[in-house]
Amino acid sequence: MSVCFIGCKQSSPKWLDALSTSMNAHGHLVELCLERTPASTEHFGYFRWNLEPFKRESNSLDCSSGSRCRVILDLTAVITKFQLNLKYARATTLRVMPKPLKIPRKAMNSEAWYLDGKTATINELSLFFKRAGKGESLICIHGFPSSSWDFEPIWPSLIGRFDTIAIDLIGLGRSAKPNQPLSISLQADMIEELAIKEGIKASHILAHDLGDTVAQELLARQFEKTSKVNWLSCVFMNGGIFPETHHPLFIQKLLLSPLGPLAAKLMSEKSLKKSFTKIFSKAHPPTDEFIRETWKLIAENNGKAMIPKLIQYISERRIYRERWVAPLVNAVVPIRLINGIEDPISGKHAADRFAEVVPNSDIIFLENSGHYPHVETPEEVLKAFFEFHDNYRKTMMLY
């Protein structure tokens, strides 16, 4: 919905009343665009300064042109805390942003997810993957200790725009669970070789948690000009990109210690639920089905024995920190971080560090979302992901 004011002769109360009505019908967020005209020049700076407290943390107050100002506001805060008066802005447009559209559909349980998957044998190890859709290639890399099934809530939308592959990392899901060290380099090797087998020469990446670290290894290879695949872009979700800001749970520290094998044996569905409840947002706690199905995939085929082997990635992050951060700092590909800010492991504090370290960083902060944003708030993740790729395509068209 748009409300356009030309001349803006209306008084502030009438303007606020109109927006209050719109808010009730369409949601509480408003996109506000101010355009400076000769008659409003003296007031433009006033608007910019007074809008700052109400901008959404996940959006910038864009006044770079000096003559236009665009910001996403919390309309409730504007109405209750500040009587904003726009009568001096001669050309002002306000658009009430609708709440994210939720399309009802039946979720796919883990067994249904694996029905149409495939297994490739690479380096004498079996690697599970799903492939569907048309368009540019996209490889999805999941986190620890779950599986490719994490991407199920956003899968139908992804395959609508991309030739999408989701894999189970070695040691997790339905991929091989071997009695050997499970390094980040091994996981990256498997992804590169799978891409070659599937005829993929260039691909985008969507990664989460442990998948972020695997993606960093892949991008490091590209930075060093040793990559077997041309990586086009990368969207990270919550993960320990910088070891100095990663806050592991106590159970993760225990699994990383010499007591790790014993701690893994004592793991259960109940303990997994306890841990996941801590890292999901309060607004979107893990469902019983998510816990049950995730635990089943962890435990099957002697999977608990894999956990202490896999969690060594935390140590690897410290060892290879400079090498894995280099491709981000040097912008080897376009990158966006989508961050669930309520994540105690790698939430807003980690995103803030990303902003400090990565020049011209592109970060989307998601409220009411924790460590698994694509499971907790899939509509918001898709919106941020597709916006990034829309901008990527526009940029590529300029060259």
What does the pLDDT look like over 369-383, one tens digit per residue?
999 999 999 999 999
Query: What is the number of domains present in the chain?
Result: 2
In a domain, 354, yes or no: yes
| Residue 38 binned pLDDT confidence (cut-offs 50, 70, 90) | very low
Residue 397 has pLDDT above 90, yes or no: no
Q: Are residues 122 and 82 in the same domain?
A: no
| pLDDT tens digits, one per residue of 317-338 | 999 999 999 999 999 999 999 9
Q: Are residues 88 and 185 in the same domain?
A: no
| Residue 366 binned pLDDT confidence (cut-offs 50, 70, 90) | very high
Q: Are residues 324 and 255 in the same domain?
A: yes
Q: Which residues contact 53 (CB under 8 A, 6 or more apart)?
A: 77, 81, 82
% of residues, the chain, pLDDT over 70? 72
In a domain, 158, yes or no: yes
Q: Are residues 356 and 325 in the same domain?
A: yes
Q: Are residues 73 and 154 in the same domain?
A: no
Residue 106 has pLDDT above 80, yes or no: no
In a domain, 14, yes or no: yes
| Residue 100 binned pLDDT confidence (cut-offs 50, 70, 90) | very low
| Residue 254 binned pLDDT confidence (cut-offs 50, 70, 90) | confident
Q: What is the pLDDT of residue 263?
A: 82
Last residue of a domain, one of 97, 124, 144: 97
Last residue of a domain, one of 63, 97, 131: 97
**Number of alpha helices (DSSP H) and beta strands (DSSP E) in the chain:** 17, 12
Residue 19 has pLDDT above 80, yes or no: no
In a domain, 84, yes or no: yes
For residues 112 and 292, give the distance between their C-alpha atoms in angstroms, rounded to a whole number.
Answer: 15
Residue 238 has pLDDT above 90, yes or no: yes
Q: Are residues 20 and 121 in the same domain?
A: no
| pLDDT tens digits, one per residue of 120-179 | 999 999 999 999 999 999 999 999 999 999 999 999 999 999 999 999 999 999 999 999
Residue 215 has pLDDT above 80, yes or no: yes
Q: What is the pLDDT of residue 260?
A: 81
Residue 337's nearest CA partner among 257, 254, 245, 233 is: 233
Q: Are residues 57 and 116 in the same domain?
A: no
Arithmetic mean of pLDDT, 330-355: 96
Q: Are residues 294 and 148 in the same domain?
A: yes
In a domain, 105, yes or no: no
In a domain, 104, yes or no: no
In a domain, 103, yes or no: no
Residue 78 has pLDDT above 80, yes or no: no
Find the CATH number of the domain harbouring 217. 3.40.50.1820
Q: Are residues 202 and 263 in the same domain?
A: yes
Q: Are residues 67 and 199 in the same domain?
A: no
Q: What is the DSSP string of 43-89?
A: HHHHHHHHHGGGB-TTS--B-TTSSEEEEEEEHHHHHHH-----TT-
For residues 133 and 158, give the distance between their C-alpha atoms in angstroms, rounded to a whole number.
Answer: 8
Residue 198 has pLDDT above 80, yes or no: yes
Q: What is the pLDDT of residue 342?
A: 96
Q: What is the pLDDT of residue 314?
A: 86
Residue 333, strand partner residues: none
Last residue of a domain, one of 97, 132, 151: 97
Q: What is the mean pLDDT of the chain?
A: 80
Residue 70 has pLDDT above 60, yes or no: no
Residues 338, 203: contact at Cβ < 8 Å? no
- Report helix, strand and coil shares of the chain as percent, to nearest 5: 45, 20, 35
The string over 291-314, giving b where at least 16 C-beta atoms fall within 10 Å of a residue's C-beta and e elsewhere, is: bbbbbebbeeeebbebbbbbbbbb
Residue with the bigger pLDDT between 66 and 144: it is 144
Q: What is the pLDDT of residue 136?
A: 96
| pLDDT tens digits, one per residue of 255-301 | 778 888 888 888 899 999 999 999 999 999 999 999 999 999 999 99
Residues 27, 97: contact at Cβ < 8 Å? yes
Phi and psi at residue 25, in whole multiples of 5°? -90, -30
Q: Are residues 62 and 122 in the same domain?
A: no
Residue 94 has pLDDT above 80, yes or no: no
Residue 15 has pLDDT above 70, yes or no: no
% of residues, the chain, pLDDT over 90? 62
Q: Are residues 85 and 114 in the same domain?
A: no
- Residue 78 belongs to what domain range? 2-97
Residue with the bigger pLDDT between 17 and 276: it is 276
In a domain, 102, yes or no: no
